A and B are shown apart, each in its own frame.
Chain A
Amino acid sequence: MKKILWILAICSPALAQQPATTFEEALAKVAAYEPGADQKPIADLRRLVQTGSSSPERASQMEQGLLKALETATLSGKEQVCRQLSIAGSGASVPALAKMLGAAETADTARYALERIPGPAVNQALRDMLPKTSGMAQIGIVNTLGARKDAGASSALRGLVAGSDPMAAAAAAAALGQIADAAALAAVRLKTSGALRAEVDEAYLHAAEQMAAKGDKKGALAIYKELSASSEPEITRIAALAGAASCGGKDAVPILAAAMKGSEPKVQAQAIRQLGAIPGAEVTTMLGQSVAGMDTMGKIRVLTALAERGDKAALPVMLNATRDNAAPVRVVAFQGLGKIGDASVVVLLAETAARGNAEQAAARDFSALRTGGFPNERQLGPAAGLTEDVVARESLHRLRGAEIDKAIVAAIGTASPDAKMELIAAAAARAISAATPVLLANATDSNRDIRRAALRALRDTAGPSDVPGLIDLVVKSQGADRTEAGRVLASALRRSDKAPISPVMSAYQSASDADLRGSLLSVLGQAGRDESLPVLRAAAKDSTPEIRRGAILALSDWPNPTPMPDLLAAARSDSNPACQILALQGYIKMIALPDSRTPAVTVKMLADAMSLAKRADEKKAVLSQVQRFNTPEALALAESAARDPEVASEAQAAVAQIERRLTPRKQ
């Protein structure tokens, strides 16, 4: 790289001093150009022509120079010169270039320049050459006339379309399309058939597109209407319908509506898709009215289009389709309700989702299904997973709007048990905080599934202001429900610092039931708020072993090592052996929590734990952690334990691990 920079540094002054190439010098070299020669003169000539063509006087001078060079240039040189004439050329270049059109080897080169030179002289020259040429040369001229949109060539092109050369006819049709001579195309298309008809149709569509672009939408729409007739080929009709919708908007509705009623599926699909994209209540009405007379696929297409439009005026049609005889139609209708439904469909969606559950449960061995309020029906449906219950549930979760949330909350109170479960799940999926009171009420329902569903939903809906209600729920619940309620309460406390912990502490203080007190202690442990530590510390010294146990377990759940001294104290001095063991287990578990201690301090803590361990279980737990340290103290602790037959295997494994890491590896 450095070498290159040096060379550049040395050469650049020399390059800077080189005299600039003149137009004449570059042109002379380009005129003599042969393939494989130096390309620099070509680049120089291009630059000089681009720069000079901004001045009419200079452009004229250059044009003369280029035309003179054209007389003697090599074939490759002619090509390069013509490229520059396409920029600097004018009517003055036409005679020379027209002469080149007659020769097969120069015709394309000449057309390149002529296609880009403005002015009627070019068009006339091309028209004049048209009858004098044939085959590819003629087709080239036709293409150029099309590219120049020369309306004056229409008559000649029309003749070619009707002529005997099919390739020239196709090219002429395409050129008429570019010229947008719809009248000419309309006239010739009726006289054509087969492959040429397809070319003419395409040109006719192209002509319509250009007419629309120029503002003649009425004319364009007439062509699209003509081409969308049922007598036309399917592909032409599909393209014509797209064109009609694109340029006509509402004016295209009659054309599209007619096509929608046909029997060709692809044409119908295109018509419905295009109609669906045209805004307006009348289109919604028309689409809705069309459903009744359609077959299953037609209904599916229209309902899908109505759902995509998002126009709530289609809600009655969608609701009606949920009762259709064909299941696929019902599925699409329930999907549609998720997009255009309002509060009035909430109960229907919940009941449909629930009905699916019931049917599945009846059809299969219930033991194979999930239980507990959130049956996973998706896996029970057909491979595609699109069953009414599944889509109804998705729609219930997807519907947007505050009124939907209100309707869900209101319906929970009155729905049947199965529908209630669906509504509760929807409240959770939508995180409706306003549902919390009704969920709290249902969390003590006599139906176990409803209780569990409500408890789970509360995790997503309960906020700081719901702490008193959740405490009340913990108090009222029993067994596994109380455990779950405690988790919900702890989760609410963890999620927000604004959630007050003091009511939980007060509830604990005033509770007399040992199980309840234990649950509330567990909540305090899971919440991990510093202000509740004094309560837990006091409980760890309570006279009742059950309370001490609850406090020790809660302290063991603490998210940081703060309560370690309390656990160590209980492990040393609790009068109850079980509490001692639990405290020691909690202490060992907490040693593994992330902390900024040095390894030596941690190993000392493990040694303390080992000295308190009376059972093999705790010793093994200590050794599991000891083996992670690469210190002589850790090795000594493991070696010492290796003399204990109860844990000899674990200690020896720890010794081997530590030694392996302490021993320097051989290079």
Chain B
Amino acid sequence: MSRHRLRRAGAFLILGMAWAQVPGLEPLPIALPKPLFEGTPANLKVANLEKPLGKPRPPFLAPAGTTNVARARPVSSVAEPTVGELEMITDGNKAGTDGTFVELGPGVQAVTIDLKQKCTIYAVAIWHYHKQARVYSDVVVQAADDPDFLTSLRTVFNNDHDNTAGLGIGKDLNYIETNEGKLIEAKGAIGRYVRLYTNGNDTNALNHYVEVEVYGKPAQ
């Protein structure tokens, strides 16, 4: 393990311990869908790929009362889906089987969730497509106060390492889709709208969403 990774792991450990000791923190009640494939794929040739944990993800602690504020909230996109309906992204069905995901055309595509009120966001959980061990490109997650994402824009995740999507260079790692989804720490970002970008995946140029959960509380 590199010195950088050791330092990072240590930081997470300390942070985790600190959170665990803070009163009022509770694990997020994230329900996982059934796995649709087994094992870790060996032949993924994707740069900057996060190493799979090899075990279940540890619980994520958030302030008590944190809920999925995206559930059944309206979702919009510039391009119409080619498969499925946008509302499937927040309908609570994470099965990932045919008929439970939305497909958007090739290239950079974004979906925007209107949380209907300004929220303090602690985490965003994303299931793009977990029937296959895929890696989606240029995953960017932003929160903002306005639908045009002009005011108080915060980027909570960005693994576009070469600014392909035009949203700036991100330092987050690429990751493999599984039934656990990707849990992104949003560090209390405040916003009413959450926008998620992708730019195809390592299997094809299309973009998919099974479910997105935004864990937060109405902002004070």
**B169 and A376 contact, CB distance less than 8 A:** no
- How many Å lie between the Cα of A483 and that of B78 in the bound state? 12
**A371's contact among B72, B97, B148, by CB below 8 Å, is which?**
B72
Interface string of B60-84 (1 = CB under 8 A from A): 0000000000011010101010000
Q: Using Cβ atoms and an 8 Å threshold, which residues of chain B touch A479?
A: 74
**B150 and A578 contact, CB distance less than 8 A:** yes
**B166 and A653 contact, CB distance less than 8 A:** no
Interface flag for A557 (CB, 8 Å): yes
Interface string of B159-193 (1 = CB under 8 A from A): 00011111111000000000000000000000000
**A627 and B163 contact, CB distance less than 8 A:** yes
User: From residue B196, how far is it (CB to closest CB) to chain A in Å?
Assistant: 16
Q: Using Cβ atoms and an 8 Å threshold, which residues of chain B touch A456?
A: 85
**A620's contact among B74, B93, B97, B166, by CB below 8 Å, is which?**
B166
**B162's contact among A367, A452, A653, by CB below 8 Å, is which?**
A653
Interface flag for B26 (CB, 8 Å): no
**B150 and A370 contact, CB distance less than 8 A:** no
Interface residues of A in 618-667 (CB under 8 A from B): 620-625, 627, 647, 649-650, 653-654, 657
**B166 and A624 contact, CB distance less than 8 A:** yes
**B165 and A369 contact, CB distance less than 8 A:** no
Residue of A nearest to B162 (CB): A653
**A557 and B78 contact, CB distance less than 8 A:** yes
**B164 and A624 contact, CB distance less than 8 A:** yes
Q: Using Cβ atoms and an 8 Å threshold, which residues of chain A touch B74?
A: 479-480
Interface flag for B92 (CB, 8 Å): yes
Q: Using Cβ atoms and an 8 Å threshold, which residues of chain A touch B95?
A: 368, 379
Residue of B nearest to A549 (CB): B148
Interface residues of A in 569-621 (CB under 8 A from B): 578, 581-582, 588, 616-617, 620-621
**B92 and A368 contact, CB distance less than 8 A:** yes
Interface flag for B91 (CB, 8 Å): yes
Q: Using Cβ atoms and an 8 Å threshold, which residues of chain B touch A649?
A: 168-169
Most buried by A among B72, B100, B166, B168: B166
Interface flag for A166 (CB, 8 Å): no
User: From residue A661, how far is it (CB to closest CB) to chain B in Å?
Assistant: 13
User: From residue A664, how far is it (CB to closest CB) to chain B in Å?
Assistant: 22
**A624 and B99 contact, CB distance less than 8 A:** no
Q: Using Cβ atoms and an 8 Å threshold, which residues of chain A touch B163?
A: 620, 623-624, 627, 650, 653-654
Interface flag for B115 (CB, 8 Å): no
Interface flag for A374 (CB, 8 Å): yes
Interface flag for B87 (CB, 8 Å): yes
- How many Å lie between the Cα of A239 and that of B27 in the bound state? 68
Interface flag for A372 (CB, 8 Å): yes
Q: Using Cβ atoms and an 8 Å threshold, which residues of chain B touch A379?
A: 95, 97-100
Interface flag for A191 (CB, 8 Å): no
Interface flag for B121 (CB, 8 Å): no
**A367 and B150 contact, CB distance less than 8 A:** no
- How many Å lie between the Cα of A123 and that of B150 in the bound state? 103
Q: Using Cβ atoms and an 8 Å threshold, which residues of chain A touch B72?
A: 371
**B148's contact among A487, A578, A588, by CB below 8 Å, is which?**
A578
Interface flag for A378 (CB, 8 Å): yes
How many A-B pairs fall under 8 Å by CB? 77
- How many Å lie between the Cα of A6 and that of B166 in the bound state? 67
Most buried by A among B72, B87, B88, B97: B87
Interface flag for B205 (CB, 8 Å): no
- How many Å lie between the Cα of A183 and that of B150 in the bound state? 98
- How many Å lie between the Cα of A491 and that of B85 in the bound state? 15
- How many Å lie between the Cα of A653 and that of B160 in the bound state? 12
User: From residue A368, how far is it (CB to closest CB) to chain B in Å?
Assistant: 6
**A368 and B76 contact, CB distance less than 8 A:** no
**A582's contact among B100, B148, B164, B168, by CB below 8 Å, is which?**
B148
Q: Using Cβ atoms and an 8 Å threshold, which residues of chain B touch A483?
A: 76
**B166 and A621 contact, CB distance less than 8 A:** yes
Residue of B nearest to A657 (CB): B162
**A625 and B162 contact, CB distance less than 8 A:** no
Q: Using Cβ atoms and an 8 Å threshold, which residues of chain B touch A621?
A: 166-167
Q: Using Cβ atoms and an 8 Å threshold, which residues of chain B touch A378?
A: 99
Residue of B nearest to A625 (CB): B166
Interface flag for B153 (CB, 8 Å): yes
User: From residue A297, how far is it (CB to closest CB) to chain B in Å?
Assistant: 31
Q: Using Cβ atoms and an 8 Å threshold, which residues of chain B touch A627?
A: 162-163
Residue of A nearest to B80 (CB): A487
**B168 and A620 contact, CB distance less than 8 A:** yes
- How many Å lie between the Cα of A578 and that of B80 in the bound state? 25
User: From residue B147, how far is it (CB to closest CB) to chain A in Å?
Assistant: 10
Interface residues of B in 119-171 (CB under 8 A from A): 148, 150, 153, 162-169
Q: Using Cβ atoms and an 8 Å threshold, which residues of chain B touch A549?
A: 148
Given contacts A379-B99, A622-B166, A624-B166, 9 further A-B contacts (CB under 8 A): A371-B87, A379-B98, A491-B80, A581-B150, A582-B148, A620-B163, A649-B168, A649-B169, A650-B168
Measuring CB to CB, which residues of chain A are less than 8 angstroms from any residue of chain B? 367-372, 374, 376, 378-379, 452, 456, 479-480, 483, 487, 491, 549, 557, 578, 581-582, 588, 616-617, 620-625, 627, 647, 649-650, 653-654, 657
Q: What are 17 A-B contacts with C-beta separation under 8 Å?
A: A370-B93, A371-B92, A372-B87, A372-B88, A372-B91, A378-B99, A379-B95, A379-B98, A480-B74, A578-B150, A581-B148, A581-B150, A617-B167, A620-B163, A620-B168, A624-B164, A654-B163
Measuring CB to CB, which residues of chain B are less than 8 angstroms from any residue of chain A? 71-72, 74, 76, 78, 80, 85, 87-88, 91-93, 95, 97-100, 148, 150, 153, 162-169
